[in-house]
Structure formats: C-alpha cells, structure tokens
Amino acid sequence: MSDSRILDYLMEAFAGESQANRKYLAYAKKAEQEGKINAAKLFRAAAEAETLHALRHFEVAEKVGSTADNLEDAVAGETYEFKEMYPPFAKEAEATGNKAALTAFTFAMKAEEVHARLFQEALENIDQTEEVSYYLCPVCGNIEKSRPDKCWICGVPGERFIMY
C-alpha cells in the first residue's frame, strides 16, 4: 500500500465496520430477548453486511498474510491482550468495585491466554493434515480441543459449548 493516507482510511474503516458488526449483533440479541424478531433479523443482516465491508477494507489494505504470518500475528495480539491490556482493566474494575466489568475482563483475559496458546500450537503444527475440532464456550469465549464437562473459566456446562 503506497499511499499512507489511504491505508489509514482503510484501517479506520475496518475498525468502524468491525465495531458496527459487534454492536449490531448485541442489538439483535436484545431484540430477540424482547420478541422483536423483525428488528433482530435486520440487525443480523446489517451485522453481516458490516463484516463484508470490514473484510474488504482489510484485504485492500493488504493486511492478510500467509497462514503462518496470520498465526504469528494472532499469537502476538492475544498475548498482548492477556498480558498487557486486560490486567490493568481488571485491576481498575476491582478497585472501583465494578464486579460486572471485573468478571468480563477476567473471563476475557483467561480466554485470550488460551487463544494465544492454541494459535501458537497451530503455528507449530501448521502442516498437520489431521482435522482438529474446537469447542467454544458461549459465555466466556474459552476454546477447548475437546468438549469439557464444564468450562474451567466460567463454569458453563460442556454441553453448551459450540463445536467448530
């Protein structure tokens, strides 16, 4: 990417579209809880549209590398989150007595450490051809390679984990 202004714009657009995706998914969940099915469907469709936009901006910005490069980037990002980003967030939430934020930050911090380990493992076994399944905790974001009896981070029963 030769024009740094365009790259900056693409990355700003990527961030905005990515945030809109997640925001609309949260709105869809709330609309479903309130029984507003049409609004929920629209929010989900818009979220997917924002994902399409974000992915295109990221691609045009030439930010998608080889799988090995992408795994290295993922390890670095997840490691930053669990080592540098979340600890002060959790500390401040605890100091201010915000238990909901403390729980959210702690769950994410512990899950990000698992994600970093799994990405590193995938990088080390990049040429493995045997298919691996992953199981996602729908509450805290923990990922396991086999369905657990319960999530070690948040305690959710293993049968609620989503298989990938």
* pLDDT tier for residue 2 given thresholds of 50, 70 and 90: low
Cβ atoms of residues 50 and 20 within 8 Å: yes
pLDDT band for position 11 (cuts 50, 70, 90)? very high
The pTM score is 0.88
The DSSP annotation for 27-65 comes to HHHHHHHTT-HHHHHHHHHHHHHHHHHHHHHHHHTT---
Tokens found for residue 55: 């992915």
Compute how many other C-beta atoms are within 10 angstroms of the C-beta atom of residue 123.
Answer: 16
* Residue 1 clears pLDDT 70, i.e. is over it: no
Listed in sequence order, the residues at least 6 apart from 10 whose beta carbon sits closer than 8 Å to its beta carbon are 1, 57, 58, 60, 61
Domains of the chain, earliest start first: 4-60 (1.20.1260.10), 66-130 (1.20.1260.10), 131-164 (2.20.28.10)
Summarize the confidence of residues 33-52 as an average pLDDT.
Answer: 98
Tokens 């901006």, located at residue? 57
% pLDDT > 70, the chain? 99
Give the model's confidence band at 142: pLDDT under 50 very low, under 70 low, under 90 confident, else very high.
very high
- The closest alpha carbon to 131, from 143, 145, 117, 141, belongs to 145
